[in-house]
């Protein structure tokens, strides 16, 4: 568990929207450019790291109860995306780190994955 | 808790700028009705994948959303190319998406499997060159 502020500091983030919500608790991390994977494998209360910057990123986050979005590799959302994110109360942040680096930094800080292994839990390498 | 509600949405194919509008509205309605959050998430994901399928593959569709005391039902009737092989379309990873669809973050072959995973019952009927009908049922807990 981290707060959004801790994630913002760890990834040296710019905040595009939701500055007032930086004390939100973030329970899990997930990273994908495929929104169907986010819908299939994420859990409520996660931060989404993605290189996909469009309106569907925000819709997907709202539907899947993603608590905040971090755009990687210095990508910036346009005004339409920011407006929708404000309406849906989803903070938008951006980092210059690549997806790989951003995931690694948060993982090292103890933010766990949203991935639910279910019956395959024994096969996960960390078990 | 209000336990009876219905609404019909129209979804236009290729209209990526409005894609997601019906399912985000469904999610907001279910919250207002006081439905439990796990059920809301399942309905929202199933509805959103179904909506994106229409936007990506069909000309248009009518999405009928109904809340009854025990179940939430979503019926999507589209006009479009139809699905020639439903079993194949149900396989994770099978996709006929274009690069434009993939650029939107969809078309990875997870849509129908995701809908099935989040439904208690899913019926699919499709006629090639005519369209597809999805009937999604989710129990309220």
In degrees, rounded to 5, the angle at the alpha carbon of residue B141 between the alpha carbons of residues B7 and B64 is 15
Beta-carbon separation of A54 and B117 below 8 A: no
Bridge partners of residue B131, in order along the sequence:
B127
| Mean pLDDT lowest among A52-56, B106-110, B116-120 | B106-110
Residue B6 sits at the chain A interface (C-beta within 8 Å): no
Beta-carbon separation of A39 and B48 below 8 A: yes
pLDDT single digits (tens) B51-105 = 999 999 999 999 999 999 999 999 999 999 999 999 999 999 899 988 888 888 8
CA distance B21 to chain A (A): 8
Q: How far apart are CA A72 and CA A7, in angstroms?
A: 13
In degrees, rounded to 5, the angle at the alpha carbon of residue A36 between the alpha carbons of residues A34 and A37 is 70
Beta-carbon separation of A63 and B48 below 8 A: yes
Average pLDDT of every residue of chain B = 93
* Structure letter (DSSP) for residue B24: H
Question: How far is the first Cα of chain A from the last one, in angstroms, to the nearest whole number?
Answer: 19
pLDDT single digits (tens) A71-100 = 999 999 999 999 999 999 999 999 999 999
Residues 13-72 of B with CB under 8 A from A: 16-17, 19-20, 23-24, 27, 37, 41, 44-45, 48-49, 52
* Structure letter (DSSP) for residue A111: P
Identify the pLDDT of residue A123: 56
- On chain B, the residues whose CB falls within 8 A of the CB of A54 are 104-105
Q: How far apart are CA B99 and CA B102, in angstroms?
A: 5
* Residue B85: φ, ψ to 5°: -135, 95
Write the CB contacts of A112 (distance below 8 Å, at least 6 apart in sequence). A27, A28, A29
Residue B90 sits at the chain A interface (C-beta within 8 Å): no
Is the pLDDT at A26 greater than 70? The verdict is yes
């Amino acid at each position: 568990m981290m707060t959004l502020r801790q994630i913002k500091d760890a990834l040296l983030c710019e905040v595009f929207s939701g500055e007032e919500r930086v004390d939100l608790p973030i329970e899990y991390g997930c990273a994908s450019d495929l929104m169907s994977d986010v819908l299939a494998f994420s859990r409520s209360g996660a931060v989404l790291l993605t290189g996909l910057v469009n309106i569907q990123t925000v819709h997907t986050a709202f539907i899947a109860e993603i608590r905040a979005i971090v755009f990687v590799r210095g990508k910036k959302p346009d005004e339409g995306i920011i407006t929708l994110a404000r309406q849906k109360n989803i903070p938008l942040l951006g980092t210059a780190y690549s997806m790989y680096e951003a995931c690694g930094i948060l993982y090292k800080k103890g933010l766990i994955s949203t991935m639910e292994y279910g019956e395959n839990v024994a096969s996960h390498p960390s078990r | 808790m209000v336990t009876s509600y219905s609404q019909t949405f129209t979804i236009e194919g290729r209209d990526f700028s409005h894609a997601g509008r019906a399912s985000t509205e469904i999610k907001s309605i279910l919250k207002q009705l006081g439905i439990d959050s796990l059920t809301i998430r399942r309905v929202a994901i199933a509805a959103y994948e179904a909506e994106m399928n229409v936007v990506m593959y069909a000309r248009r569709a009518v999405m009928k959303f109904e809340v009854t005391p025990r179940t939430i039902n979503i019926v999507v009737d589209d006009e479009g190319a139809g699905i020639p092989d439903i079993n194949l379309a149900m396989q994770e990873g099978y996709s006929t998406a274009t690069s434009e669809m993939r650029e939107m973050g969809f078309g990875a072959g997870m849509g129908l499997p995701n809908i099935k995973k989040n439904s208690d019952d899913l019926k699919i009927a499709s006629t090639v060159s005519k369209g597809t009908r999805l009937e999604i049922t989710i129990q309220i807990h």
